[in-house]
Amino acid sequence: MLPAIGPVIAGGTLAAILASAAGGAAAGTLIGSLIGLGIPEEEATYYESEFKTGRTIVTVKCENRCDEAWAIIRRFNGYDWKNRDLVSTSAHTEALHANVAKPETVANEDRVCHTAEGGQKMQLKEEQLRVQKTPVEAGEVRVRKEVHTEHKTIDVPVQREEVVIERRAATGAAPTGDICATNQEVRIPVREEQVHVEKTPVVKEEVSIGKRKVTDTEHVSGTVRKEEVKIEKEGDVKVRHDASTTDKNRSKKK
């Protein structure tokens, strides 16, 4: 609700101008906002009067698709300042057909219209919740590798040679030769296995990284307003209530 303007749903440039108009710019009126969009004063005055009668003003930034935008607007009985006379004639013709029609009661979800002679129309409106979803960045996940050092011990069997010396008592037999004048020695090479450690990288595990969409349910609530009919009587006046189609359908649902 904007002061001096009324209920407005707007976006983009129009929303910015209307906000400044409500704050005091352009005399705080819709006509000042429309003039701020570049609309001539005579046309802006006409649109403001249409808006005050309860009609809706639609602005479109169409760039090079103006013909397509006009086709959509006219498909839903939209009009502008240039063809306002044609719309007025059409509305007058529809009113004449309504007056000569058979008296009946027509109802839908938000209004009840009585076309009986001398009848008046009253529209009942209610607010509805409209939910819009906008993707936002909720966070970020970083996946990286780190190198850690740990000490490992491996048992490896190795072989080595040992010298075995066996001494036995002699039988006392004569030797095969004389006693050597020089010292006699026997050399026996002794071998053993040595362990050499080598490190070779191998693939231990593969990690796949990706995203997937998960659907959750969020509960959205809000307070809405609804118009209802309140009948007040003065004096000896009888009022008859005709059950509308909507009321019958609601009764069946209950």
At 21-32, the pLDDT tens digits run 554 444 456 777
Structure tokens belonging to residue 42 = 């005579």
Kindly tell me if the per-residue pLDDT of 103 is higher than 50: no
Asked if 195 contacts 230 with a C-beta cutoff of 8 angstroms, the reply is no
Helix (H) or strand (E) holding 146: none
Give the DSSP letter string of 75-98.
HTT---STTHHHHHHHHHHHHHHH
Question: CA 88 to CA 80: how far, in whole Å?
Answer: 11
- pLDDT at residue number 119: 63
* pLDDT band, residue 105 (cuts 50/70/90): very low
Q: 8-17, 39-48, 157-166: which has the minimum mean pLDDT?
A: 8-17
Mean pLDDT of the chain: 75
Q: Which residue type occupies 137?
A: E
- pLDDT at residue number 117: 53
For the chain, give the number of residues: 254
| SS3 at position 6 | strand
At 53-99, the pLDDT tens digits run 888 888 777 788 888 888 888 888 888 888 777 665 555 445 444 44
Taking the alpha carbons of 72, 52, 107, 254 in that order, is the dihedral positive or negative? positive
At 11-21, the pLDDT tens digits run 666 666 666 65
**Long-range CB contacts for residues 208-211, cutoff 8 Å, separation at least 24:** 209/143
Task: Over range 131-136, report the average pLDDT.
Answer: 85
